[in-house]
C-alpha cells in the first residue's frame, strides 16, 4: 500500500470517527434532555448515563487524536520521501550533464 493510499484510508477513518463522535454527542444531548425531564428519583441513573457517555466521548477524542497524529506522521514521511526523490533526480541529472560534456 502506497503512502498516498495510506493517507486516503487514514483520512476516511478520521472522517468516520468524527462522524461517530458527532452522532454520539447528539445522542448524548438527547439523553441528557430526556434525563432532565424525568423525576428527581432518576437522578442517580442520569449521573450514570453522564459518566458512561463522558467515557465514550473521551475514548472517541483519544481515537481522533491518535488518528490525527498518524496522519501528521504519514504526511511528514511523504514530504521527506518527495524531497529525497527530488535530490536523487537532481544529482542524476547533474551527473548526466557532466558525462555529456
Question: What is the reported pTM?
Answer: 0.41
> In 3D, which of 68, 1, 56 has the Cα closest to residue 25?
56
CB 74 within 8 A of CB 17: no
Percent of the chain with pLDDT over 70: 70
Quick check: 88 pLDDT over 60?
yes
As a whole number of Å, the end-to-end CA separation of the chain is 41
100: Cα separation from own chain's centroid: 50
Predicted local confidence at residue 14, as pLDDT: 74
> In 3D, which of 52, 49, 63, 76 has the Cα closest to residue 16?
63
Quick check: 44 pLDDT over 60?
no
Quick check: 49 pLDDT over 70?
no
Amino acid at each position: 500500500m502506497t503512502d498516498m493510499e495510506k493517507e486516503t484510508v487514514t483520512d476516511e477513518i478520521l472522517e468516520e470517527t468524527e462522524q461517530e463522535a458527532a452522532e454520539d454527542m447528539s445522542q448524548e444531548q438527547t439523553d441528557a434532555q430526556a434525563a432532565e425531564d424525568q423525576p428527581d428519583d432518576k437522578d442517580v441513573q442520569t449521573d450514570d448515563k453522564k459518566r458512561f457517555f463522558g467515557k465514550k466521548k473521551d475514548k472517541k477524542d483519544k481515537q481522533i487524536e491518535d488518528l490525527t497524529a498518524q496522519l501528521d506522521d504519514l504526511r511528514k514521511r511523504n514530504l521527506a520521501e518527495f524531497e529525497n526523490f527530488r535530490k536523487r533526480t537532481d544529482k542524476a541529472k547533474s551527473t548526466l550533464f557532466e558525462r555529456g560534456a
